[in-house]
A = this chain, B = another copy of it.
Amino acid sequence: MTAEAHPTLTKNQKLVFGSLSGAGGPLTAYAILDLLRDSGFRAPLQVYRALDKLVEYGLVHRLESLNAFVACSHKGCSGHGTAAFAICEKCGLVSEFTPDKAIEALRAWTRDEGFHLSRTTIELRGTCRTCAGVS
C-alpha cells in the first residue's frame, strides 16, 4: 500500500507492535492494553494511538469483522499491495494473502463507476484446512 519506509517507531509503537508480533494472531485493542499494563500502559488511547500509526505504516492491519488488529505477515518487508484475510471461525487462525486478481477486478469496477478508491477491506470467514478436515 504505502511503499515507502516507515519512520523509526516510538516506545509505545514498539511495545504495541511487539505484542502483536508475539501473539501470532489478532488481538483487540483492549487485549493489547492488558498485555502492556506491566509496561506502563494505563488507557486505551495509548493503544489506539500506536495502532493508528502502525496501520498507517503498513506494519499492522485492522480486521474490521473482528474489531481486532494483526501484525502484517510480510515480515521485514516495508509494504505490499492490498491484503485479504481468511479467518477460521473454529481455531481463530488468520491467513493474510494478496489477491491480485480480485483486486484488479474490483479496481475495474471503480474505474467504471468513477469511484476513487482509498482503502479496500477483504475478509473471508469460514474454516481453515485443518479445522474443515476434522468435522
- The verdict on A106 contacting B110 (CB below 8 Å), with A115-B128, A117-B124 known, is no
CB-contact partner of A102 in B106, B116, B128, under 8 A: B106
A46 located at the interface, meaning its Cβ lies under 8 Å from any Cβ of chain B in the complex: no
Determine the interface band of chain A, counting residues with CB < 8 A from chain B: 35 or more
Of chain B, the residue at the smallest CB distance from A118 is B126
Q: How many monomers of this protein are in the complex?
A: 2
Contacts of A86 in B (CB 8 A): 109-110, 113, 115
8 A Cβ contacts from A72-111 to B:
84, 86, 88-89, 95, 97, 99, 101-103, 105-106, 108-110
Interfacial residues, chain A to chain B (CB-CB below 8 A): 64-65, 84, 86, 88-89, 95, 97, 99, 101-103, 105-106, 108-110, 113-129, 132-133
